[in-house]
Amino acid sequence: MTTIRVLAAVLALLLAGGEIARRVAVPGGFFPGIFPLAMDEFVIAALLGWAAWRGSAGALLAAWMGCAGLLLGLLAANAAPLLGGAPKPGAATYTIALSVLLAVSAWAAWRSGRGLRV
């Protein structure tokens, strides 16, 4: 379970930090684009951080499933240009990265679920 907790903490920091870096790089700066557009990433990062700190299997399972849900939504939106939508630069790279993160989230959720007592 320690591996899942460390992975949750690292992903929480990367998710929040990556979103901040992405919003700062947008013309117009950090504000006003950060609210409400980035709140979903911040909520999932906070949930992952809380679950890593708490360490219970139920909290970790909920956090990883929330992360997987967010990644599925992002993957669907970013894979559209590859499936015939309007072209978007970097769509293939972003889609591959989201797919890898989704696989990691699914694995971590599976491992967290194994820690639950039924």
pLDDT by residue (tens digit) across 19-72? 888 877 777 666 666 777 788 999 999 999 999 999 899 999 999 999 999 999
Which residues form the domain of 8? 2-114
Query: What pLDDT sits at residue 33?
Result: 62
Number of domains in the chain: 1
Provide the total of helices (H) and of strands (E) in the chain, helices listed first: 4, 0
> Which structure tokens are listed for 66?
């929330």
Neighbours of 93 (CB within 10 A): 10
